[in-house]
């Protein structure tokens, strides 16, 4: 077979006197996508950990709970970091560094979740199967505050691909660029990724409905979203509308997780064939055009709204280190 060199960089080949057009797959097979998940947990919330362990996390290709303990279980990553909300960033930094050092090349996407998060991993894989690029990608429930293009809510979980994880770790290694302790873990992760130039990729479906739900399930069911979600969520086209291929919810009790898991995996509703060919666009979310006109837009601590206008200048600033008194870190 002779391949004409004029066509070697395209999907058109000249073979045996005929032009052959190759059709590349529109999305990856979800069976080829490997996902590693870590869940923030506490020793005094054993019931929550059991609820997660008996349900959705079993669908991850690799998972572990991050705990301040000396637990000998194979699915626990023990840390010596103190308990408390002010140390969640420390734990997330430790977990992402651990995944980078031990499993970077074994998995395609890396998920952070809480012990009251419920995630449909199959739908997550379906979503990311639409991502055709090899560039860094960061997905979740997109909140628009505190960074030029916002960050992903931590409660319902968020995900980074392999290239984004590499960038995140490089950000950790730049003195002062990314906060490694204190603050809010989801916000600090988002700001670090933004400073490293990692784009936010859309996770809404073709109907502009959300796949990651930052609030409780009943808030969406009743159409009664709390004010903070209405204020923070970037995508306002279908506010409160849940995608048919939704991925996650936040603030679920262990018993509710078990009931939801049973329904999802044991019941089916007959329906006509659904065209899933282009169900997700997975395009880069464009930056906010003019933050000064965005109402509301909250600036970060010790920063001004004006400081966000020049995104490239903002990325270069070493302004994410703690600049006030905080609990002493060990």
Helix (H/G/I), strand (E/B), else coil: 59: helix
pLDDT of 176 above 90: no
Helix (H/G/I), strand (E/B), else coil: 181: coil
Handedness of CA 231, 233, 237, 241 (dihedral sign): negative
Q: What is the residue whose two structure tokens read 């109402």? A: 295
Q: What is the pLDDT of residues 30-70, one digit of tens each?
A: 999 999 999 999 998 999 999 999 999 999 999 999 999 98
For position 18, what pLDDT does the model report? 62
Helix (H/G/I), strand (E/B), else coil: 297: coil
Percent of the chain with pLDDT over 90: 60
In contact, 201 and 134? CB cutoff 8 Å: no
Question: What's the whole-number mean pLDDT along residues 246-251?
Answer: 96
Smallest Cα–Cα separation from 26: which of 276, 299, 203, 235? 276
In contact, 308 and 291? CB cutoff 8 Å: yes
268-52-207-286 Cα dihedral, nearest 10 degrees: -160
- Is pLDDT larger for residue 120 or for residue 220? 120
- Is pLDDT larger for residue 274 or for residue 175? 175
What is the pairing mode between strands 109-114 and 62-68? unpaired
Could you tell me how far CA 226 lies from the centroid of its own chain?
22
For position 236, what pLDDT does the model report? 84
Q: How far apart, in whole angstroms, are the C-alpha atoms of residue 277 and residue 274?
A: 9
In contact, 255 and 163? CB cutoff 8 Å: no
Q: What is the pLDDT of residues 178-216, one digit of tens each?
A: 999 988 999 999 999 999 999 999 999 999 999 999 988
Percent of the chain with pLDDT over 70: 89
């Amino acid at each position: 077979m002779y391949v004409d060199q004029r066509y070697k960089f395209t999907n058109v080949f000249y073979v045996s006197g005929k032009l052959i057009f190759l059709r590349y797959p529109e999305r990856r097979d979800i069976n080829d996508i490997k996902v590693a998940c870590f869940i923030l947990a506490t020793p005094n919330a054993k019931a929550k950990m059991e609820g997660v362990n008996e349900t959705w996390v079993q669908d991850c290709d690799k998972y572990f709970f991050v705990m301040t303990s000396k637990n000998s279980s194979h699915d626990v990553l023990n840390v010596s970091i103190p308990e408390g909300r002010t140390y969640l960033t420390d734990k997330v930094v430790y977990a992402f560094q651990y995944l980078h050092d031990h499993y970077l090349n074994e998995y395609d996407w890396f998920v952070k979740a809480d012990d009251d998060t419920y995630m449909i991993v199959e739908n997550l894989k379906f979503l990311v199967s639409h991502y055709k690029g090899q560039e860094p990608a960061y997905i979740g429930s997109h909140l628009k505050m505190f960074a030029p293009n916002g960050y992903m809510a931590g409660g319902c979980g968020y995900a980074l691909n392999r290239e984004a994880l590499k960038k995140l770790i490089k950000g950790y290694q730049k003195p002062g660029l990314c906060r490694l302790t204190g603050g809010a873990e989801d916000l600090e992760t988002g700001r670090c990724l933004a400073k490293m130039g990692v784009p936010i990729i859309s996770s809404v479906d073709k109907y502009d409905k959300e796949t990651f739900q930052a609030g409780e399930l009943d808030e969406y069911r009743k159409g009664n979203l709390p004010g903070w979600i209405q204020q923070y969520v970037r995508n306002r086209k279908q506010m409160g509308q849940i995608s048919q291929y939704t991925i996650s919810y936040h603030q679920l009790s262990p018993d509710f997780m078990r009931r939801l898991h049973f329904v999802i995996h044991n019941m089916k509703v007959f329906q006509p064939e659904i065209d899933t060919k282009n169900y997700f666009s997975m395009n880069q979310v464009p930056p906010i055009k003019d933050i000064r006109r965005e109402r509301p837009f909250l600036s970060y601590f010790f920063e001004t709204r004006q400081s966000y206008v020049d995104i490239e200048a903002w990325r270069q600033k070493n302004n994410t280190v703690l600049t006030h008194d905080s609990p002493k870190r060990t």
